[in-house]
Amino acid sequence: MEKMDKLILITGGAGFIGTHVIKLFVRKYPNYRIINLDKLTYAGNLENLRDVENLPNYEFVRGDIVDKDFIDRLFEKHRFDGVIHLAAESHVDRSISNPLEFINTNIVGTVNLLNAARQIWANDSEGKLFYHVSTDEVYGSLGETGYFTEETSYDPRSPYSASKASSDHLVNAFHHTYGLPIVMSNCSNNYGPYQFPEKLLPLFINNIRNNKALPVYGKGENVRDWLYVGDHANAIDMIYHNGRLGNNYNVGGNNEWQNIMLIKKLIEILDRKLGREVGTSLNLLSYVKDRAGHDLRYAIDSSKLQNELGWEPSVNFEQGLELTVDWYLDNEEWMRNVTSGEYQKYYEIQYMKR
């Protein structure tokens, strides 16, 4: 094989955001060799990566970041130049029913990667980088005003966000204690193709198409800041290459929507695309028991990323939502595949009790 400039490990590359990051890096940097490490949990799907799987600079390795010996061997074998760490348990509702899984993957798994990187880079960390991909949920919940900045104190309130916050602290601790070259980002809610239909948008798109109830938690008053997933992948690319060591960067869409307003917008788009009279699917709205500890509002101030690295969101929300809906409507088979088997059991447990 031709000499590659950099060997990068991307964890969680078969998940939603990982899929977009892998595709971006593999295509944009033919001189990088990208190894995708993924356990292929319910959320990981190699079908997403079919169009890049045969490229010469891409390789898939199946494995669990919680398995320390496996991780140590993998780092010893490949001696990566960089790590972009996305693998995680990522769904808040699942963290409420099964917190331990989140502690293991998000905390122990991250420490295994940090330790392995520290060992192989102990004598020469020049040009090496550990990039930790995190979430805005570590900052807790906002009231009706204000934004999360990089200086906002951590105040995680769900087992998911507490496990991510803990992993963020460990990443910073490895930087300060061992001099590990790290960078980190905290992003708001992503939307786009390949998102597993347990998250709001793909779940509701699928339910509207199938005339199934739309389970709105509480009164639908909670606010999220939505960013197209491709813009998050671009931010990761910029931060990986130009972010300042030891820094974290907030990434967000400056695009706040109250859940119920977003859901009504989605209904309007889908009714139009499905040839139904606009408003027909409003009758699917079903207000159900609220998520425990449901954070009211997230909103990101991403001016550090914009001013330092020149990043800005490129996909306007109207267009992004249209193209996302089109993707799910055009990829019925993908949806059928990921919603078969285990998914049915999850759905029953998650929604029948509400």
Q: Which is nearer to ligand NAD, 43 or 223 (CB)?
A: 43
Q: Which is nearer to ligand NAD, 64 or 256 (CB)?
A: 64
The angle formed by the CA atoms of residues 71, 72 and 77, to the nearest 5 degrees, is: 100
Distance CA 62, CA 72 (A): 15
Structure tokens at 252: 């967000």
Distance CA 27, CA 78 (A): 21
Contact 34, 60 (CB under 8 A): no
Stretch in the footprint of ligand DAU (CB under 6 A) among 19-27, 130-138, 170-178, 233-241: 130-138
51 is catalytic: no
> DSSP character for 297?
B
Q: Which of 156, 181, 192, 215 binds ligand DAU (CB under 6 A)?
A: 215
Stretch in the footprint of ligand DAU (CB under 6 A) among 55-63, 107-115, 132-140, 322-330: 132-140
Contact 84, 10 (CB under 8 A): yes
Name which of residues 264 to 323 contact ligand DAU (CB under 6 A).
291, 298
Distance CA 133, CA 164 (A): 9
Beta-sheet strand order (sheet of 223-228)? 189-191, 223-228, 256-258
The option from ligand NAD, ligand DAU, none interacting with 200 (CB < 5 to 8 A, set by class) reads: ligand DAU
**Per CB under 6 A, 141 contacts ligand DAU:** no
Q: Which is nearer to ligand NAD, 86 or 284 (CB)?
A: 86
* Closest distance to ligand DAU from the beta carbon of 120 (Å): 29
Contact 201, 328 (CB under 8 A): no
Exposed/middle/buried for residue 1 (C-beta within 10 Å: 0-12, 13-18, 19+): exposed
DSSP states of 86-123: ------HHHHHH-HHHHIIIIIIIHHHHHHHHHHHTSS
**Per CB under 6 A, 315 contacts ligand NAD:** no
- Determine the size of the site formed for ligand DAU (CB under 6 A): 19
Q: Which of 133, 216, 284, 299 binds ligand NAD (CB under 6 A)?
A: 133
Site string for ligand NAD, 22-41 (x = CB under 6 A): ----------------xxxx
Distance CA 23, CA 12 (A): 13
137 is catalytic: yes
Q: Which is nearer to ligand NAD, 65 or 117 (CB)?
A: 65
347 is catalytic: no
**Per CB under 6 A, 232 contacts ligand DAU:** no
**Per CB under 6 A, 328 contacts ligand DAU:** no
Helix (H) or strand (E) holding 37: strand 32-38
Catalytic residue ranges: 136-137, 160
Task: Please report, as ranges, the residues that interact with ligand NAD according to CB under 6 A.
Answer: 11-12, 14-18, 38-41, 43-44, 64-66, 86-90, 105, 109, 133, 135, 164, 187, 189-190, 196
Task: Please report, as ranges, the residues that interact with ligand DAU according to CB under 6 A.
Answer: 90-92, 135-137, 188-189, 199-200, 203, 215-217, 222, 224, 259, 291, 298
